[in-house]
Structure 1
Amino acid sequence: MRKWLIPVGIILVVVFALYSWAKGVNNTAVTLSEGIKESWGNVETSYQRRNDLIGNLVKTVKGAADFEKSTLEAVIKARSEATSVKIDPSNITPEQLAQFNQAQGNLNSSLSRLLVTVEQYPDLKANQNFLKLQDELASTENQILTARTRFNEAVKPYNTHIKTFPNSLLAGMFGFTEKSYFDAVAGAEKPVDVEFNFDNKEDKK
């Protein structure tokens, strides 16, 4: 056997091992990244359902009560701002998620004020359409919580995969970057500060 074949064979084995490793790092990262995109799609679907329900809720309140104009306008504005925040699931940054969380948090606060103010309208509280929308909103909030949790669960193995040595040596070269997790909105644990202004005729329709 020719001696030069031995080092050539070793080189080929090493090259094949490196190729297999690089292929595994890339393909696994791609698979995990696609899982994140799917999870984010579920998050968006849940939030879109809530936005649709809030739109219907506002219409019901408008049609059923001489309601505070400023309270309704706050919800409409917050809903519009929340729906305008778009995120690319292939490039989710902490700044993007913070902006998304802030917009959704503002909508939560406005909606809470609306629902608390409704307590002053017995006829609206007895409106079957309104009650149904409230129940659907509560159900959707649970769906959102589940979707956010599953999104974080999808992000964790991806981040672990690309940050673990020696995978981290190749992840950046292949364009894979760390994804951000969903965090609770700052101040979300605080009660909503509600001010009633029923004597101000200018705020009423």
Structure 2
Amino acid sequence: MLTYFLIGLVAILIVFGVLIYNRLVSRSQMANNGWSDIDVQLKRRADLIPQLVNTVKAYAAHERELFEDVTEKRARALAAGDDLASRSAAESALSRPVARLMAVAEDYPDMKASGNFLELQKELSETEGKIEMARRFYNGAVRELNTSVQSFPANLLAGAFGFRERAYFEVDMASRALPEVDLGGAS
């Protein structure tokens, strides 16, 4: 009788362990998916920036230092790869000169009326919104994963199976306060 009880107990523990493991895998995959979404949108933004620089450059040739700053920060952001801390810092650093670049447009009414510039500005704005949505999704998935990794009894299995807490993707406060660019009622 004791043998059946022990076999039943071991079976219950195995099933319980499998359920915990599967939940950890699911939450880890959600975090991976979230990071992939962020990465896609950051690459899209990086692809739009050279077009924006070239458009502004045609109107504001004397802003050479700003163009070089944007180009350098874009290269650093692309080189940061998947290291969350360095990627987050590089993307925050890139946001500042891009915001200044958009503000330069205020000084050039002809550029503000340019269809090419308006389309690039619209695409960049939409991409920034998508980055924010992807960041929220990723951070939510990371919160769920981190909670599971830290909670009992999952924490007993998480370390053994290689599940670790992940860092949130944060943007520093300076880059959140991007200047508003009024394009004269363009929609």
TM-score category of the 2 structures, normalised to the smaller one? 0.7 to 0.9
- Cα deviation for residue 64 of structure 1 reads 3.9
Matches within 5 A, 1:102-113: 102-113=89-100
- Distance in 1, matches of 2:29 and 2:120, equals 34
From 43, 65, 69, the equivalent of 1:70 is: 65
What residue in structure 2 maps to residue 91 of structure 1? none
From 111, 130, 134, the equivalent of 1:124 is: 111
What residue in structure 1 maps to residue 44 of structure 2? 49
Residue 81 of structure 2 is aligned to residue 86 of structure 1: yes
Percent identical residues: 35
From 134, 137, 152, the equivalent of 1:165 is: 152
Cα deviation, 1:110-166, whole Å, max 9, x if unaligned, reads: 111112223222222222101110111111111111010011111122222221111
What residue in structure 2 maps to residue 90 of structure 1? none
What residue in structure 1 maps to residue 130 of structure 2? 143
Residue 12 of structure 2 is aligned to residue 17 of structure 1: yes
Gaps of 5+ in 2: 180-187
Give the 4+ runs in structure 1 shifted more than 4 A.
Answer: 189-192
- Distance in 2, matches of 1:82 and 1:55, equals 13
Q: TM-score, normalised by structure 1?
A: 0.81
From 33, 45, 51, the equivalent of 2:28 is: 33
Whether the 8 Å contact between 1:65 and 1:124 is mirrored in structure 2 is no
Cα deviation, 1:1-57, whole Å, max 9, x if unaligned, reads: xxxxx1111111111111111111111111111111111111111111111111111
- Distance in 2, matches of 1:65 and 1:49, equals 24
Residues 65/188 of structure 1: CA separation in 2 closer, same or farther (3 Å cut): closer
Whether the 8 Å contact between 1:119 and 1:125 is mirrored in structure 2 is yes
Residue 68 of structure 2 is aligned to residue 59 of structure 1: no
- Distance in 2, matches of 1:184 and 1:48, equals 16
How large is the RMSD of aligned CA atoms in angstroms? 1.7
Whether the 8 Å contact between 1:32 and 1:157 is mirrored in structure 2 is yes
Whether the 8 Å contact between 1:61 and 1:67 is mirrored in structure 2 is no
- Distance in 2, matches of 1:75 and 1:138, equals 17
What residue in structure 2 maps to residue 203 of structure 1? none
* Structure number with larger C-alpha Rg: 1
